[in-house]
Amino acid sequence: MSPDAALNRWIRHDFAAINTALEELYFAQGDRAQVEGIGTDLKAELVRRGEELLAPLLAEGRTHDGFDSALELLGDVGMYLGALRRHELTNPDRETTSPFATASALALHVGVSIGMAPRFATAHLATHNRAVGGLRRSFTTLHDEFLFIDENTRGIFGLQSAAYALTRLVPLGASSPVADVLFAEAEGALKGVAACNARLFETLDIDRFFYCVRPYYKPYRVGRQVYRGANAGDFAGINEIDLMLGLCRASDPYYAQLLHEKLPYMLPAEQLRLRESMSRRSILDQLLDHVETDRDAPWFVANVRAFLGVCDAFGAIAAQHHDQLVSRFVAGPAQTMAPGHMQGITASGPPLEALLRSLEILRDLRMAAPRGDIASRHDDMARLRAAIA
Amino acid sequence: MSPDAALNRWIRHDFAAINTALEELYFAQGDRAQVEGIGTDLKAELVRRGEELLAPLLAEGRTHDGFDSALELLGDVGMYLGALRRHELTNPDRETTSPFATASALALHVGVSIGMAPRFATAHLATHNRAVGGLRRSFTTLHDEFLFIDENTRGIFGLQSAAYALTRLVPLGASSPVADVLFAEAEGALKGVAACNARLFETLDIDRFFYCVRPYYKPYRVGRQVYRGANAGDFAGINEIDLMLGLCRASDPYYAQLLHEKLPYMLPAEQLRLRESMSRRSILDQLLDHVETDRDAPWFVANVRAFLGVCDAFGAIAAQHHDQLVSRFVAGPAQTMAPGHMQGITASGPPLEALLRSLEILRDLRMAAPRGDIASRHDDMARLRAAIA
Amino acid sequence: MSPDAALNRWIRHDFAAINTALEELYFAQGDRAQVEGIGTDLKAELVRRGEELLAPLLAEGRTHDGFDSALELLGDVGMYLGALRRHELTNPDRETTSPFATASALALHVGVSIGMAPRFATAHLATHNRAVGGLRRSFTTLHDEFLFIDENTRGIFGLQSAAYALTRLVPLGASSPVADVLFAEAEGALKGVAACNARLFETLDIDRFFYCVRPYYKPYRVGRQVYRGANAGDFAGINEIDLMLGLCRASDPYYAQLLHEKLPYMLPAEQLRLRESMSRRSILDQLLDHVETDRDAPWFVANVRAFLGVCDAFGAIAAQHHDQLVSRFVAGPAQTMAPGHMQGITASGPPLEALLRSLEILRDLRMAAPRGDIASRHDDMARLRAAIA
Amino acid sequence: MSPDAALNRWIRHDFAAINTALEELYFAQGDRAQVEGIGTDLKAELVRRGEELLAPLLAEGRTHDGFDSALELLGDVGMYLGALRRHELTNPDRETTSPFATASALALHVGVSIGMAPRFATAHLATHNRAVGGLRRSFTTLHDEFLFIDENTRGIFGLQSAAYALTRLVPLGASSPVADVLFAEAEGALKGVAACNARLFETLDIDRFFYCVRPYYKPYRVGRQVYRGANAGDFAGINEIDLMLGLCRASDPYYAQLLHEKLPYMLPAEQLRLRESMSRRSILDQLLDHVETDRDAPWFVANVRAFLGVCDAFGAIAAQHHDQLVSRFVAGPAQTMAPGHMQGITASGPPLEALLRSLEILRDLRMAAPRGDIASRHDDMARLRAAIA
Ligand code: HEM
Ligand code: HEM
């Protein structure tokens, strides 16, 4: 078995088993957030076996036989480092360079050569999580982790399908009569996302998720630099929808910074798609050009109506994500947590308060909410609604 | 107005008006296929105004400000040449080089620089037919032409959506539990295509289509070479479905030749997608690997069932296309045609018989029909069906 | 050894040995152009062993592990078919489809998937001819074949270096003071090409080249279609130089057709480069903009002088190629050939007369010769020379 | 004039004039490093006019008509911000977000959409500094700035040419007989770089460079994030040489981090080239495979000799850069500087000591110096030299 295959098999089996055993130890405690000093032997075994498997890969000094295998390797190394972080065997706040030099070097080499941040990304667990005989990669074998990554992946697929429908509108223009099927497809796909979200809301165990799944998504260091945690939004589709609908704008400083920051965490092909959609004129702006002159044209009435249907469906899942999922599974449990553990509970690094505020802005942009302090399209949407009322 | 804008506006208005007037003249005759000698003044005007608009574009000696404008220009020049062909002002069978040197030079320059055959392609009328105030490009303003190009475009969108669902399966593998949403999406999209086909079957006027729309899709010469007609299948999705499902194989000589031949008629981005899907392992082949060992595994039963659902939906539209659309709108009317006009009635060039035989092979591959003479996957599909029976 | 490795090793050794033995038989005859009926056993062995090695590759039904290995495979299959053609075991003029179905199917599958014509191309013998322990691929082990392919490759490298210098001028503009090093580099590289040409002129054996090397470059059929022979000009650099200098124009119908025709015979990366250079403004056109207003500006004098130096060096090798190489090694021996063999002596298919005429046009464009019948830049170059005289 | 054209013209003229006037004021002082409080009106005018020109561009909310114009725009905005930093109108050390919100938003929008860090990069002043009537962009009109950017650009071109020669070796392999011209071309190009360096060493004014040119290359903030200064090494060629020769390795943690860090500062096409060369096997490693078995083979002796010639030329310029240029123009003057200004004298941010140490490592890797503490290839090179001694 080649060194990459050996590592991959380990990640799928023993690695997940060790992590699961550690989770059970932590979870059985009064203070479930207490990690240090627990399961020392298991942790040692995790480190030892990982190092053993990585050494020959680094020695090979080669990156890849092709993009797919490089991406899989980056996921394996990255999940290893993610687990070490979760078990507090490394912690970016108390170190200036990763104590895991071999894993860091390998991650940097592979990451740079495929054009992604040198850590595991959402793609590794979601859209590009290769199943072998039905088994995909995961940190643990906990039911709630599978539930989470599977529904997450399904949600991402739905957003991608909606985005693909909307981006095919670009060459047609917002007045095309055949846009009807694309609007309908986008709306349908977004409703599918709402269903995933609803299933997660109902079935995911709050504590298991908060204490045993989420901690694997924390930021960690690779070499000298800290890389923020994997984020379910690290694919182009969600922003393609924002930009194509026109609810967010790439020239808005807040939003431009957000796009800039997330690019390295996306697959190169996704980076490309996102970049392309940044120079397109949005459907909203196209329709507004005609709001005075064509308000009675059948194409205008039909396409505005269909467009608003998509926006409503999109706003609905933005609200659902923030007001249900984030609130129930992150904000809620965080409040009951011992203050000593608060630091580092957010995946992407910033303190929880800042994260929530930032997510709120996104929600309000997507809902075109009436907010004077941010560049929401509330008034423009209102003009459009009025035109066909 | 820039020279490209002037040409584009002409194509959208006067050009379509002249063609429509000519169609009404032809159609009013006893022998509707009689074109030569009819409407001489209209034809002269068509040529004259076209030449006038093209000359400054060639003189500029520049190709483009970007892909989008180059693609639009290629469509305009190409539709102009397509109309000249339709009105028998050029005919590849009696010439060795196009009599329209300016249009040829421009088409070659633009075509080569964007990487497509130097003629109008399906994309120009379908997926990339930009609407201006609801109006898209067309040869005529006949109701049946709009009906045809609109439903065609919707059908293409449906096939693209199905293809996008299936190609996202590649990184997951055929055993992934989250494949469920992708299979469902593919099946749903294919059923949408069946609906487009059914609408066309019911509403399209046979004679109008056969005599007044189809002739614009004939092969013509650009410079010295003949380029075959635009073909509704000139996008990657249909073949991505073939290849991903595994119903056709890129190593099958018949099918490889077909792919090779169609590549230049597709947009560069589509060429890339098609090429990428040629080196992927099909879902059928992946599932067959497990047919002995995992037939009782829940993932196998679920995914095979979903896969067969997609194949059934796909086979159904293949049958519908051939047995209903091609039969009713091409083969049927061709039989009643005066023998003198038979030559050149097929869009892609070969004689009707050959074309029909070739379409039949495709239908049977897609239906996995039991045919010993071609590489249909009938037996492999049967094994799979039996395994979960 | 994997099936591709086995084929590749065969091509490098036994295949070349069989071809060499056959060449010695042909060359020993009074009529060296007599091929049919000679060396029947050797030919049979060639066919047999080739088929044996290709069968498992086609059965695998996979194209590639990556571009490099696919390109190498295409070269191997293509050289096999090229040799069959050279030994008259297939001849496109008397067949409508290649009698070598396995090789054809494999070549089509690989060719389409990497985006090149399904036959061996210049890259396979020149810029991408991988050496193993100093040994590169060749049809025979004849000294003159190695001499030819090696000097050809060196010549191509020189043209590529000149092209790379000139294309880096694009973002700077023709007036930049730092263009000096790029002009100098281009001129130096072109002088290196002249040296290769001179070496070939002096050392290549006319008869060996004409009778034992050139015939491997004939057109042949893959599946149903004929693909023209490999041509030393099948890389982007030569045309990048034409276009960047401005001596040829992509909107010239003759030249546009030539570019269009050669694209599939080039590597994808080269196709891209060529396409990109088609939409650039040439240095000549940029300088002409200033010929009235800036003739005394130091930058103008310096850059025009340097530009003309490059043009002179380029014109010189164009003349040398045509008047020395083509004349001595192709046109000359062809005149002494028995009339019965004349057909098919040109690599690219057209009769010798037509080929020579076409090469003459290219020479005259590149020399900016005073020819009224073609779009040579003679007068524009004269204006420029006069301006700094 | 379009808003981008207006901005671009301003940068080329008035902007440079204001900066030059400010430099003369600073330079005339006893403490030339004193910037704050000097030339207040000029500074105010700089800010005012810049804001005026940027506002309409941001309002347009569009990024670009194509890559070239976007790149030029990013350079203009970036140079504006670079000048504001140089004049201490912004300073990342005392701010957490850039005080120039419009410029930041525009830079982020454009930068993200073309895939580069949102600041001016070396390409803007060097390889992609478009000249208009002989005039290229610069911060000032000082003789020493032109001298610096011109020779720098020539040096970069030389390194690119050497890199292009070496990367064309990849498909041939290190044993190919036609590698001779590529090795010779690389060596020649590197000697040209040495000449640029020598010219700079002799002619550049130490104080003008140190006090009036270098400060424009400091790090600054765009939005919230600090971006390190433009660095003459921000193009692929230098690292392609490192990697292809084998003197540096992409799996070396130090070097991998360096590559990772510099990618966003390079043009997308350069990023791609760099990434591709990361997965290639180096010439050194290829030759070492044969050091025992083929030491007497003519190809080995010839190619090793040529390879060592290239390495020697490369080592020589590495030494020259560090021991002459960096020492004379950066380290030297820094020692005489008033301690209060020391902070921020390095372009890339880190303190001077750290920068020098890091440049020393690079020099020693490139010279294959005998250093036990870093992964220099000294011993491997020695084996190779011994083999052909
Ligand atoms: C024995 C020496 C050579 C002979 C007899 C020769 C002959 C020819 C012929 C006959 C063609 C037309 C292609 C065809 O066969 O249809 C051609 C094309 C070409 N040859 Fe050569 N050639 C020789 C050496 C070289 C060398 C050393 C170079 C340098 C790189 C070169 C560069 C080209 C180019 C660039 C073309 C393409 C025409 C174009 O697009 O410009 N040839 N050559
Ligand atoms: C006055 C002349 C020069 C000085 C003082 C100088 C100084 C420096 C310094 C200090 C750095 C480190 C980057 C930083 O500031 O953080 C650097 C990097 C670099 N310089 Fe120069 N440089 C000079 C001329 C050149 C020239 C002419 C070239 C030729 C192309 C060149 C090529 C490079 C390269 C490639 C790097 C990047 C380091 C690497 O990745 O190898 N420099 N230079």
Q: Name the pLDDT band for B339 (thresholds 50, 70, 90).
A: low
Element (H, E) at C221: strand C220-222
Cα–Cα distance for residue pair B117/C39, rounded to 1 Å: 43
C-alpha R_g of chain A: 22
Q: B65 or B121, which is more confident?
A: B121
Cα–Cα distance for residue pair D195/D317, rounded to 1 Å: 9
Q: Residues 6 or more apart from B74 whose CB is under 8 A from it?
A: B107, B110, B111, B114, B116, B118, B119, B120, B124
Q: Name the pLDDT band for B31 (thresholds 50, 70, 90).
A: confident
Q: Residues 6 or more apart from D378 whose CB is under 8 A from it?
A: D368, D369, D370, D371
Amino acid occupying residue B352: L
Cα–Cα distance for residue pair D259/D266, rounded to 1 Å: 11
CB contact under 8 A, B154 and A299: no
Q: Taking CB atoms and an 8 Å cut-off, how many pairs form between chains A and D?
A: 99
Q: Name the pLDDT band for D62 (thresholds 50, 70, 90).
A: low
Q: How far is the CA of C9 from the centre of ligand 1 (A)?
A: 29
Q: Whose CA is nearest to atom 37 of ligand 2?
A: D233
Joined together, the tokens standing for residue A354 give 């800042």
Q: How far is the CA of C366 from the centre of ligand 1 (A)?
A: 14
DSSP structure string for B196-210: HHHHHHHHS-HHIII
Q: Whose CA is nearest to atom 3 of ligand 1?
A: C325
Q: How far is the CA of C230 from the centre of ligand 1 (A)?
A: 10
| Under 8 Å between Cβ of B250 and C108 | no
- Percent helix, percent strand, percent coil in chain A, to nearest 5: 65, 0, 35
Q: Name the pLDDT band for D352 (thresholds 50, 70, 90).
A: confident
Q: How many residues does chain A have?
A: 389
Amino acid occupying residue D339: P
pLDDT tens digits for B115-165? 999 999 999 999 999 999 999 999 999 999 999 999 999 999 999 999 999
ipTM given for this complex: 0.92
Element (H, E) at D24: helix D16-27
Asked whether the predicted pLDDT for residue D132 surpasses 60, the reply is yes
Asked whether the predicted pLDDT for residue B343 surpasses 60, the reply is no
Asked whether the predicted pLDDT for residue A350 surpasses 80, the reply is no
CATH number for the segment(s) B143-387: 1.20.58.480
The residues in A 113-172 lying below 8 A from B, measured between CB atoms, are 127-134, 136, 150, 153-154, 157-158, 160-161, 164-165, 168, 171-172
Residues of B within 8 A of C240 (CB-CB) are none
Q: Touching check for D66 and chain B: CB below 8 Å?
A: yes
CA distances from B101 to B82, B221, C5, C254 (A): 14, 11, 49, 11
Ligand 2 pocket mutation pick from D231, D277, D367 by most atoms within 8 angstroms of CB: D231
Please state the atom number of ligand 1 nearest to the C-alpha of residue C362. 41
3-state secondary structure of C292: coil
Q: Are strands C225-227 and C220-222 parallel, antiparallel or unpaired?
A: antiparallel
Asked whether the predicted pLDDT for residue D111 surpasses 70, the reply is yes
pLDDT tens digits for A225-259? 999 988 888 999 999 999 999 999 998 888 988 99
Nearest to B239 by CA among B225, B224, B256: B256
Q: Touching check for D176 and chain C: CB below 8 Å?
A: yes
pLDDT tens digits for D183-210? 999 999 999 999 999 999 999 999 999 9
Q: Whose CA is nearest to atom 10 of ligand 1?
A: C326
pLDDT tens digits for A171-227? 999 999 999 999 999 999 999 999 999 999 899 999 999 999 999 999 999 999 999
Mean pLDDT in residue range A23-28: 94
Phi and psi, residue C140, nearest 5°: -130, 175
Element (H, E) at B108: helix B101-114
What integer pLDDT is reported at residue B356 of this predicted model? 86
In the 8-state DSSP scheme, what is residue A135? B
What integer pLDDT is reported at residue A329 of this predicted model? 75
What integer pLDDT is reported at residue B62 of this predicted model? 67
What integer pLDDT is reported at residue A353 of this predicted model? 83
What integer pLDDT is reported at residue C389 of this predicted model? 87
Asked whether the predicted pLDDT for residue B346 surpasses 70, the reply is no
| Under 8 Å between Cβ of B319 and B193 | no
Q: Name the pLDDT band for D372 (thresholds 50, 70, 90).
A: confident
Q: Residues 6 or more apart from C246 whose CB is under 8 A from it?
A: C282, C283, C284, C285, C377, C380
| Under 8 Å between Cβ of C232 and C213 | no
What integer pLDDT is reported at residue A344 of this predicted model? 52
Nearest to C137 by CA among D171, D307, D281, D301: D171
Q: Where in chain B is the domain with CATH 1.20.58.600?
A: 3-117
Mean pLDDT in residue range D367-381: 94
Q: Residues 6 or more apart from B221 whose CB is under 8 A from it?
A: B90, B92, B95, B97, B98, B104, B227
CA distances from B84 to B19, B34, B51, B143, C223 (A): 10, 15, 12, 21, 33
Angle, helix C101-114 to helix C40-60, in steps of 10 degrees? 50
pLDDT tens string for chain C (389 positions)?
899 999 999 999 999 999 999 999 999 998 898 999 999 999 999 999 999 999 999 888 765 568 899 999 999 999 999 999 999 999 999 999 999 999 999 999 999 889 999 999 999 999 999 999 999 999 999 999 999 999 999 999 999 999 999 999 989 999 999 999 999 999 999 999 999 999 999 999 999 999 999 999 999 999 999 999 988 899 999 999 999 999 999 988 889 999 999 999 999 999 999 998 988 899 999 999 999 999 999 999 999 999 999 999 999 999 999 999 998 988 888 877 655 555 555 555 568 888 899 999 999 999 999 998 888 999 999 999 999 98
Q: Is A340 left (phi over 0), alpha (psi -120 to 50) or beta?
A: alpha
Cα–Cα distance for residue pair A216/B239, rounded to 1 Å: 40
What integer pLDDT is reported at residue A333 of this predicted model? 78
Cα–Cα distance for residue pair D326/D228, rounded to 1 Å: 18
Asked whether the predicted pLDDT for residue D343 surpasses 60, the reply is no
Nearest to C318 by CA among C354, C359, C285: C359
Q: A168 or B251, which is more confident?
A: A168
Residue C100's closest chain B neighbor by CA? B253
Cα–Cα distance for residue pair D206/D179, rounded to 1 Å: 41
CB contact under 8 A, D131 and C176: yes
CB contact under 8 A, B178 and A154: yes
Q: Residues 6 or more apart from B219 whose CB is under 8 A from it?
A: B85, B92, B226, B227, B228, B229, B344, B347, B348, B349
Instruction: Give Cα B374 distance to the centre of its chain.
Output: 23
Asked whether the predicted pLDDT for residue B348 surpasses 80, the reply is no
Q: How far is C130 from chain D (nearest CA, A)?
A: 4
Whole-number average pLDDT of chain A: 91
E strands along chain D, which residues?
A: 220-222, 225-227
The answer to whether the Cα torsion of A65, A66, A72, A75 is positive or negative is: positive
Q: Where in chain C is the domain with CATH 1.20.58.480?
A: 143-387
Q: What is the pTM of this model?
A: 0.93
Strand partners, C227: C220
What integer pLDDT is reported at residue A1 of this predicted model? 83
Domain topology for C3-117: Methane Monooxygenase Hydroxylase; Chain G, domain 1 (1.20.58)
3-state secondary structure of D63: coil
Q: Whose CA is nearest to atom 42 of ligand 1?
A: C232
Instruction: Give Cα B340 distance to the centre of its chain.
Output: 27
Amino acid occupying residue C178: V
Whole-number average pLDDT of chain C: 93
CB contact under 8 A, D157 and C182: yes
What integer pLDDT is reported at residue D178 of this predicted model? 96
Lowest mean pLDDT, pick from A120-124, B101-105, B356-360: B356-360
Residues of D within 8 A of C180 (CB-CB) are 154
What integer pLDDT is reported at residue A335 of this predicted model? 74
CA atoms within 13 A on the CB side of D239: 29
Mean pLDDT in residue range B41-70: 88
Residues of A within 8 A of B173 (CB-CB) are 130-132
Q: Touching check for C65 and chain A: CB below 8 Å?
A: yes
Cα–Cα distance for residue pair C42/C23, rounded to 1 Å: 11
pLDDT tens digits for B171-207? 999 999 999 999 999 999 999 999 999 999 899 999 9
